[in-house]
Amino acid sequence: MYRVFFLSFYFLLCLSAPGVCQSDTLYFYYDSAWNEIADSARTDYKRRAINNENGFWEVTDYYKSGQVQMTGTFMDRAMKKKLGSFEWFYPSGKLERQAMFAGGRPRGEELLYYENGQIDTYLKYDNDGRMSEEKYYRQDGSESGVKNPEFPGGLPAMYAYLSQKVKYPRSLRKHGIDGKVYITFTVHTDGTLQDIHIIYSPDEAMSKEAIRAVSSMPKWKPGSRDGKLLRIKYNLPITFAMD
């Protein structure tokens, strides 16, 4: 009898106060640079993460005002691998960006918007997360003039540099493994390469070598949009083959 009474009381409590019974909801607090902080009173952004029945984390980020900043689902508790549809919003509540992800990689179309609703940037990715198309637009809807970033001396100089810097991993020689690594990075307005990571690689040793080689590159000539310097993402395939 006592057990039945207790379970009934717990059930009623859950109906009247769902937050009390939601043990898989986490809250995080961040400053203006998205550094995690402990003091919720000083937060610029707040994150609520709910662990759903599939083990994924449904996340909503908020501005200090309480306005939603982002919604999306992560595959892991570290909230690094995105899955499915993501949306970002301006402080006004207007849509700023929307994208799709699969296994942590971008997939399909990604759209960035001006606050007036006009498309700012259109990006398209293939099934491996490689960017296959990009277009930029002005606020009046006309297409922007964009110059892509460039390695000093252009493509021939870049491939010559990589042929000297990239070393076939010694640990793979006895297995005779060949393959192509797809790496992505952002060329910032000062020409430095940042946000370097692997899109696809057949082997971890190849991934590490590709990242090492790209990280050692000199500064690039940055890209521009309508004459203004612009951070631009760059995808690069690097082939590994036995000599």
| pLDDT < 70 positions in the chain | 1-23, 242-243
pLDDT tens sequence across 209-221? 999 999 999 999 9
**Coil, helix or strand for 18?**
helix
**What kind of fold does domain 17-144 have according to CATH?**
2.20.110
pLDDT tens sequence across 19-41? 334 458 999 999 998 999 998 88
Cα separation of 78 and 69, whole Å?
19
Cα separation of 127 and 101, whole Å?
10
Domain 154-240 has CATH 3.30.1150.10: yes
Tokens of 19: 């937050």
Phi, psi torsion values for 15, nearest 5 degrees: -70, -40
What are the residue ranges of CATH 3.30.1150.10 in the chain? Answer: 154-240
Cα separation of 190 and 170, whole Å?
35
221 neighbors 150 (Cβ within 8 angstroms)? yes
What are the residue ranges of CATH 2.20.110 in the chain? Answer: 17-144
* Tokens 């990239």 sit on residue: 166
130 neighbors 199 (Cβ within 8 angstroms)? yes
Q: Which of these, 150, 129, 116, 114, lies nearest to 223 by C-alpha position? A: 150
